[in-house]
Structure 1
Amino acid sequence: MSTAVTPAAPDGATATSARRRWAGLVFISVAVALIIVDSTIINVAIPSIVDDLAITSTQVQWVQESYTLVFAALLLVFGTLADRFGRRRILILGVIVFATASVFAALSQTGELLILARLVQGVGGAMVLPTTLSIINATFRGRDRGIAFAIWGSTIGGMVAVGPLLGGWLTTYYSWRWAFGINVPLGVVIIIGVLVYVLESKDAGEPRRIDVVGAVLSVITSASLVFGLIEGRTYGWWFTNNPPAVGDWTWPYDISIIPFVFLVTVVSGVAFVYWGLYRERAGKTTLLAFSLFRIASFRNGNIAAMIVSLGEFGIILSLPLWLQNVLGYDALQTGFVLLALALGSFVASGVSGAFGNKTSPETIVRMGIVAEIVGVAGLGLVITAQSTWLVVVPFLFVYGIGVGLATAQLTGVVLKDVPVAQSGQGSGTSSTARQIGSALGIAVLGTVLFTSVGASLDAKLAEVPGLPAETQSQIVDAVVDSAGSVIPSLEEQSPELADAAREAFSDGTRYSAYAAAGFLVLGFLATLRLSGTAPHAEPRPEDAAPGASSPAAETAGEPV
């Protein structure tokens, strides 16, 4: 049911309303920071978790991936639910779910329980991210909207590195468990701020039915794809080398389970598209607004965002492991090294603001991706077992500048022509593209890292005279399965073996950086499909989508 537009407010009331909007943006940004920090805060804590819970390298990837996977799979669902039931309501519920799951993560006594808690955290994060974008899209107009998107995007870029610093401090001086526990007080602050300053908004007109079949197909597609990419090196990419087992049942075929998993990905993905197009032709609601892909900025921007995210965040998995297990830094020192990325991102927000009115957003995006390519490729060039933070920090800073420029402006490019009435679906799709890219980045680059480490170490140990083949295999498995955390203990047994492990882990980290740079090059090529346009004018009321309420109507009323 549409909300009536309120009469024009006096100037004083307008100023008060503007202050409330910007104050609300502060708490929205903190909510975004909460879920983004949690996707990176765990990185520097991983070695401590490996020692405490005795998890394997595959579980290391799943501790990362379980959160990102559920996050990506449910973004579209909650973007639609937010449009229907109220964006502020879903945001608050998401923060509650996220904070509650954080308590269970902090109390986990096994790797399996930690992964389960991370899965639930992903549900909460998927409720938060698209609603924050949708609220901004529905609340701010014109130049204010561009500024709000820039703040939102810069928050993501900065928090990617602030997370490791915060996690490093908590892990070093307290425990890795506090990396999750800190989410509880932050969640309380966010809920209070959102209730006070953020207005409720939702779709006008009759409530839309949720596309349940589409939701299930989207979850199956993303889950099977990421599962296959992560577990391929465990179970075998084509032939079975370690058959999966559940209870008394064991995979009985010589052909690995992984090709069948990828077959499920293809079939469910095709079914998702055909099902959505069928419902759209029938005039029914769809999980993904396929009609939005007719908008060039939305279509091309999402393709670019997904590829760029694949290259952006995958490197954050391998770098903290290398800094701690090869260079010997503790968690806090690692966080300080990664702070260079955050500083670069915050510098980028100022640069973006200075050029925002003179340069098209598409050009700024390309500048950002070029900076990312230089930063990541540079890391690949300087990473060795003998490197120090002095050679790493400059390239991380350049990389951070690129992340800040590209992240903030891509958001505006993707959503600039999306009708407000479809902002939930639009922001959900945009966030899903990013998160799928991030999930694939962790899966692909994590696989590159550990596969390269194993191959490199195996080759180096083969040159050690008198080393039995069985011992060689045990050392390789130990280094890979522990994600490098056994390297310091190897020093006590044999400095020669420890040096070989450090060099191999450096090789894997370097190859992971080069792979990330390659994906970023593809992302840059994808941005060439974005047309450089000046900031577009606000749509006229008569151009609004049928059934859409005006921004004023959507956000009318006083906050609680």
Structure 2
Amino acid sequence: MEKKIVITALVLAMFVLVIDTTIMNVSISTLIKDFHTNVATVQGAITLYALVMASFMITGGKIGDIIGRKRAFRTGLIVYGTGSFLTAISPTMDVLFIGWSILEGIGATLVMPAIQTLVTSNYSGKDRALAYGILGGIVASAIALGPIIGGWLTTKYTWRLAFGGEVVIVLIVLLLSRYILDAPLETEEKPKLDIVGSIISALGMGFIVFGILLAGDYGWWEARHIFSIGGIEISPFGLSPTPVFILAGIIILLCFALWEHHVIILGRMPLVRLDVLKDRRITSGIFVQMAQTTLIGGFLFSMALFLQIALGFDAMQTGFLYLPLSIPLLIASLTASRLSARIAPKRIIQVGLLVLIAGLLLAIATINVEVRGFALLTGFALIGIGVGVMSSQIMNLVLSQVVHERTSETAAFMSTSQNLGMAIGTALMGSIVIVGFVGGATTLINDSTVIPEDLKPSVISSVEENSRFLTNQQLTAILKDASPELSHEISRVNEVARIQGIKVSLWGLVIFAGFGIIASIFLPPGILVPPQTEQ
């Protein structure tokens, strides 16, 4: 009974952490209205939340080593719950920034690594595999179900109820947490926090994630428009800020590695021992984890554009259409978690990637302006099954490769890769969609027999300079002064080019899944829980 209570507490905590961002994303327009602000300010809150999460995840794992994983779990929940409460009652955007972007972000960095480590102290054998499978399924399902919950509460009531509900769930988890067994650090050396290392690692990860998040607006290489901070332009040689920030982040992380090596030479305890990354079983697992979240995050983003912009569905309708993905995902995660006693997790993960690719190919073949049918939902189900199968194995497989005292920092690496994958998936698909859209629109405009030849260069130039996904209503408003024939033709070009852009983005995910298969080759090949040792 206690084991069921423990997994319930851990699952509820993970569900709240993951669903939080999706709720905020579907509430953007309402927040703008409620706080009399603009899109940039709300997106700034979302960006800061992602930055705090990615920047301090490794530090959060180390704090768990110092104060104890169970105490870190509870402390993080209290900080997170306080942030959720402030967010729910926030009278201004400034309070929302403090509550959601900062306090919730900091709380999450303490809770997420602790969850992964506490599983190892509360479960063993097939029970541990099942626990990780449930957690993996909950992560991906929460990403898919978030728009339903957030859209329903925002549309029918208020977005504040969602964050008020998080406070209630946090209180429930805190009550249940007394049944959780702590995961003591099995080392004679008393852990200490490397303050300098924490600052350097936070800056490095922050720069990389910030650069990735900017890619959607500014492009991955050549700047679509000038980027500036405090009036200072940051677009050297016409570059997008994305490669500038990513390169700066990589350089800072290299400095972090040198600093950690220096700390070890001095005989002090580093923030994290980077030698764990020399084990290709671990690094391949981290990359496969990042590939999984990149794939699900990128797919949901591309499908949101398709369903909401191309087909005109609202957030709640879009959320319900994700059910054929999220339900098979959760079922596959629970089912596949029991297979690791008989089949090597490496093979299960590779099968999951192949099923996911099949789902992507089916989606590519079936999406169209007229689509309403069964085939696309079958693609959704295959993608859900693929992700569910992968998520049921990867965390247990990676953490089983490290000694117990290294699980916390390895879990922090895994949590960081998870957040990094979501950022990459959204930003990468955003930029690929635009590339596909512009390429398709340019070809259609050049081939059109309705658009006058002398007008084609200016139309193409307008598409390239203002490359945006427009709804039919937005485009109609722009074309109100055009002739009916020209207006109809440009609307047709817009509809077809949007679909082409989305298909190109899905092909990008297929390629990324291929990289995931390559990385999976280096995963450990053995069966984690032989039948005779199952508990």
TM-score over 0.5 (shorter chain): yes
Whole-angstrom distance in 2 between the partners of 1:280 and 1:338:
48
Q: Does structure 1 residue 522 correspond to structure 2 residue 515?
A: yes
Q: Secondary structure of the residue that 1:356 maps to in structure 2?
A: helix
Q: Secondary structure of the residue that 1:182 maps to in structure 2?
A: helix
Shift of residue 20, structure 1, vs aligned partner: 2.3
Whole-angstrom distance in 2 between the partners of 1:304 and 1:475:
36
Work out which of the residue numbers 231, 249, 252 in structure 1 matches 2:214. Answer: 231
Shift in CA distance, 60/230, structure 1 to aligned 2, threshold 3 Å: farther
Q: Secondary structure of the residue that 1:427 maps to in structure 2?
A: helix
Q: Secondary structure of the residue that 2:341 maps to in structure 1?
A: coil
Which residue in 1 is equivalent to 2:484?
none
Q: What pairs with 1:421-432 in structure 2 (closer than 5 Å)?
A: 421-432=405-416
Moved more, 136-145 or 74-83: 136-145
CA deviations on 1:41-96 (whole Å, 9 max, x unpaired) are: 4454456667877755x778766554333322221111110121122222223223
Tell me the number of residue pairs that the alignment of Structure 1 and Structure 2 aligns.
515
Q: Secondary structure of the residue that 1:387 maps to in structure 2?
A: coil
Shift in CA distance, 522/468, structure 1 to aligned 2, threshold 3 Å: closer
Q: What pairs with 1:7-26 in structure 2 (closer than 5 Å)?
A: 19-26=1-8
Q: Does structure 1 residue 79 correspond to structure 2 residue 61?
A: yes
Shift of residue 425, structure 1, vs aligned partner: 1.2
The residue identity in structure 1 corresponding to 2:524 is S
Whole-angstrom distance in 1 between the partners of 2:113 and 2:397:
16
Q: Does structure 1 residue 39 correspond to structure 2 residue 13?
A: no
Q: Secondary structure of the residue that 2:419 maps to in structure 1?
A: helix
Moved more, 299-308 or 327-336: 299-308
Work out which of the residue numbers 134, 138, 157 in structure 2 matches 1:174. Answer: 157
The residue identity in structure 2 corresponding to 1:208 is P
Q: Kindly indicate whether the alpha-carbon contact (under 8 Å) linking 2:302 and 2:502 is maintained by their aligned counterparts in 1.
A: yes
Q: Does structure 1 residue 411 correspond to structure 2 residue 404?
A: no
Shift of residue 306, structure 1, vs aligned partner: 2.2
Q: Kindly indicate whether the alpha-carbon contact (under 8 Å) linking 1:454 and 1:504 is maintained by their aligned counterparts in 2.
A: yes
Gaps (5+ residues) in structure 1?
A: 1-18, 539-560
The residue identity in structure 1 corresponding to 2:170 is G
Shift in CA distance, 68/231, structure 1 to aligned 2, threshold 3 Å: closer
Q: Secondary structure of the residue that 1:210 maps to in structure 2?
A: coil
Q: What pairs with 1:314-333 in structure 2 (closer than 5 Å)?
A: 314-333=298-317
Whole-angstrom distance in 2 between the partners of 1:178 and 1:508:
36
Q: Kindly indicate whether the alpha-carbon contact (under 8 Å) linking 2:337 and 2:392 is maintained by their aligned counterparts in 1.
A: no
Q: Kindly indicate whether the alpha-carbon contact (under 8 Å) linking 1:69 and 1:436 is maintained by their aligned counterparts in 2.
A: no
Work out which of the residue numbers 135, 138, 146 in structure 1 matches 2:118. Answer: 135
Which residue in 2 is equivalent to 1:554?
none
TM-score, normalised to structure 2's length? 0.84
Moved more, 132-141 or 444-453: 444-453
Shift in CA distance, 230/434, structure 1 to aligned 2, threshold 3 Å: closer
Q: Does structure 1 residue 267 correspond to structure 2 residue 267?
A: no
Whole-angstrom distance in 2 between the partners of 1:526 and 1:452:
27
Shift of residue 510, structure 1, vs aligned partner: 1.9
Work out which of the residue numbers 141, 162, 165 in structure 1 matches 2:145. Answer: 162
The residue identity in structure 2 corresponding to 1:95 is L
Shift in CA distance, 34/248, structure 1 to aligned 2, threshold 3 Å: closer
Shift of residue 201, structure 1, vs aligned partner: 4.1
State the superposition RMSD in angstroms: 3.4
Moved more, 20-29 or 113-122: 113-122
Moved more, 98-107 or 25-34: 98-107
Whole-angstrom distance in 2 between the partners of 1:164 and 1:217:
35
Shift in CA distance, 165/533, structure 1 to aligned 2, threshold 3 Å: same
Q: Kindly indicate whether the alpha-carbon contact (under 8 Å) linking 2:84 and 2:164 is maintained by their aligned counterparts in 1.
A: yes
CA deviations on 1:395-447 (whole Å, 9 max, x unpaired) are: 11111111111012001110013222222112112222222222222222222
Which residue in 1 is equivalent to 2:483?
none
The residue identity in structure 1 corresponding to 2:252 is S
Whole-angstrom distance in 2 between the partners of 1:224 and 1:83:
26
Gaps (5+ residues) in structure 2?
A: 481-486
Identity of aligned residues (%): 25
Whole-angstrom distance in 1 between the partners of 2:226 and 2:301:
27
Q: Does structure 1 residue 98 correspond to structure 2 residue 80?
A: yes
Which residue in 1 is equivalent to 2:347?
363
Whole-angstrom distance in 1 between the partners of 2:202 and 2:323:
34
Q: Kindly indicate whether the alpha-carbon contact (under 8 Å) linking 1:325 and 1:488 is maintained by their aligned counterparts in 2.
A: no
Which residue in 1 is equivalent to 2:292?
308
Q: Does structure 1 residue 512 correspond to structure 2 residue 505?
A: yes
CA deviations on 1:271-317 (whole Å, 9 max, x unpaired) are: 12222233334443222332333545323322322233322322222
CA deviations on 1:186-243 (whole Å, 9 max, x unpaired) are: 222222222x322344425453221222222222222222333333564566666633
Whole-angstrom distance in 2 between the partners of 1:400 and 1:49:
31
Whole-angstrom distance in 1 between the partners of 2:76 and 2:4:
21
Q: Kindly indicate whether the alpha-carbon contact (under 8 Å) linking 1:233 and 1:451 is maintained by their aligned counterparts in 2.
A: no
The residue identity in structure 2 corresponding to 1:434 is Q
Work out which of the residue numbers 379, 391, 397 in structure 1 matches 2:363. Answer: 379
Q: Does structure 1 residue 220 correspond to structure 2 residue 203?
A: yes
Which residue in 2 is equivalent to 1:346?
330
Shift of residue 161, structure 1, vs aligned partner: 1.7
Shift in CA distance, 99/431, structure 1 to aligned 2, threshold 3 Å: same
Q: Secondary structure of the residue that 1:317 maps to in structure 2?
A: helix
Whole-angstrom distance in 2 between the partners of 1:141 and 1:84:
24
Shift of residue 387, structure 1, vs aligned partner: 1.9
Whole-angstrom distance in 2 between the partners of 1:109 and 1:503:
43
Q: Kindly indicate whether the alpha-carbon contact (under 8 Å) linking 1:454 and 1:477 is maintained by their aligned counterparts in 2.
A: no
Whole-angstrom distance in 2 between the partners of 1:363 and 1:448:
30
The residue identity in structure 2 corresponding to 1:412 is N
Shift in CA distance, 445/222, structure 1 to aligned 2, threshold 3 Å: farther
Q: Point out which structure has higher relative CO (alpha carbons under 8 A, 6+ apart).
A: 1
CA deviations on 1:439-474 (whole Å, 9 max, x unpaired) are: 222222222234444554566567563679878877
The residue identity in structure 1 corresponding to 2:65 is D
Shift in CA distance, 471/215, structure 1 to aligned 2, threshold 3 Å: same
Q: Kindly indicate whether the alpha-carbon contact (under 8 Å) linking 2:197 and 2:256 is maintained by their aligned counterparts in 1.
A: yes
Q: Secondary structure of the residue that 2:343 maps to in structure 1?
A: coil
Whole-angstrom distance in 2 between the partners of 1:389 and 1:419:
50
Q: Does structure 1 residue 532 correspond to structure 2 residue 525?
A: yes
